[in-house]
Amino acid sequence: MQELISHPLFTPLLLTALIVLGFPLVTGYLVHIERKILADMQARLGPMRAGPHGLLQPLADALKLLLKEDVVPAGADKALFWMAPLIAAFTGLTAIALLPFGERLYVADMNVGLLIISALGAVGVLGMTLGGWASNSHYSLLGSLRGAAQLVSYEVAVTLAMLAPVMSASSLSMVEIVRAQQRRGVWFVFDNYGLMIVTFGIFLIAAVAETNRAPFDLPEAESELVAGFHTEYSGFRWALFMLGEYAHAFVICGVTVVLFFGGWLRPFPNVAWLELPLNFAFPVLLIGGSGAATLMLVRKVRRPWQRVFLTAVAAALVSAGLIFLVPAVNHVLIAPFWFFLKLGLVLYLLFWLRGTLPRLRYDQLMNLGWKRLIPLALLMLFLNAIAGLLAA
């Protein structure tokens, strides 16, 4: 057993299996959480039918998508129509392999890891572009044209913003970037006398634009283009597009956490006395506390089986919280806990933006990208370089 765990391929293979098998479920629940958050912001309840508080809705949706008829429009380019969702899902899932969830918890650590992630993002847009063209529909074609133009415009700003943390870490490897933040004892977002915050803002705006999420969702603007590039897609192929989109958003949040928020490091990574409150008390209170809060909700649910289900969920949360008290388990789980907590907060920010901001017009999108973000990103790159030299 020990021999198996210490084998160099053990963690990568385990994580790959977890990503490939688990991420569709994660996507389902991300969509569910997003719907619930948006509903909350708009004073609605969101999905409530399947399971208590709609907790089984993602499974019901997945079943529906799998059983739907697979429609290919007449006059569609069959080969490309078939291939496009695969490109989107493949690139999204592969990019997750490069995120370090902990000091040793990653599938692959390459010395050009960050570049590979942006390469996969760039290839992923081909899925959208080709899918829209292959559908042989005007709405789809317009959506994919917008997508292509948007990606090319914003990729420059994303790359320029990425360069500042890379300069500070003097490495392109994701693991090495986090280690550099540990060495400097500060998350990069607060580094360089506060200059990096602006870079972080540029990165976040441009990265949201690259994932085609609201307020930059012009390629699938439902009020103008029906559903944009995936208008003609249904059932499982459409689900693959969604899988790719959420994987891409997940990766972007992961990259944000690694580049600016110290990856798997806890806040104040070099202050030793904070270890006990932050690494033990905090997760127990957060996860166990949300379990206890769920327990309060049980009273309001009427149906008996839903009560049992919700109690089970609450019990699972409380025990998941208590498990952090065991030092051996805590040692393994604390790094992914911080990583996913920060990732979740960035993801919440994306949902929040979607619930708050109206969609940009096409000319506003291009103006923001080319005339504001790119010059500002160049200036910040220059200033960060000077500040970095002064600090070193």
Partner 1 sequence: MLDTFFFYAFALLTVAGAALAVTMRSAVHCAVWLIASLLGTAGLFLMQQAEFLFAAQIVLYVGGIMVLFLFVIMLVNLEAAARERQMRKRWPIALAGVLLLAAGLARSLEEGIRLPAPRPAPEAAAGNVQQIATVLFGEYLLPFEVASVLLLVAIVGAIVMAQREDAR
> What are the residues binding partner 1 (CB under 8 A)?
77, 80, 110-112, 115-116, 118-119, 121-123, 125-126, 129-130, 133, 141, 144-145, 148-149, 151-152, 155, 159, 172
What one-letter code names the amino acid at 297? L
Which of 231, 51, 270, 54 shows the shortest CA–CA distance to 128?
231
Nearer to partner 1, 149 or 278 (CB): 149
Nearer to partner 1, 187 or 233 (CB): 233
Nearer to partner 1, 123 or 297 (CB): 123
Which of 55, 102, 25, 118 shows the shortest CA–CA distance to 305?
55
Nearest approach, Cβ of residue 75 and partner 1 (Å): 13
Q: Which ranges in the chain belong to alpha helices (H)?
A: 2-5, 10-41, 57-67, 78-96, 113-134, 138-169, 174-184, 196-210, 222-225, 235-260, 275-276, 282-283, 289-298, 304-322, 327-356, 362-367, 374-391
Nearest approach, Cβ of residue 129 and partner 1 (Å): 5
Report d(CA 230, CA 142) in Å as an integer. Answer: 11
Give the angle 141-146-147 at the CA atoms, nearest 5°: 95
Cα dihedral: 370, 371, 373, 376 (round 10): 130
Nearer to partner 1, 148 or 347 (CB): 148
Nearest approach, Cβ of residue 242 and partner 1 (Å): 21
Nearer to partner 1, 122 or 322 (CB): 122
Nearest approach, Cβ of residue 81 and partner 1 (Å): 12
Nearer to partner 1, 317 or 377 (CB): 377
Nearest approach, Cβ of residue 169 and partner 1 (Å): 12
Nearest approach, Cβ of residue 122 and partner 1 (Å): 2
Report d(CA 185, CA 270) in Å as an integer. Answer: 6
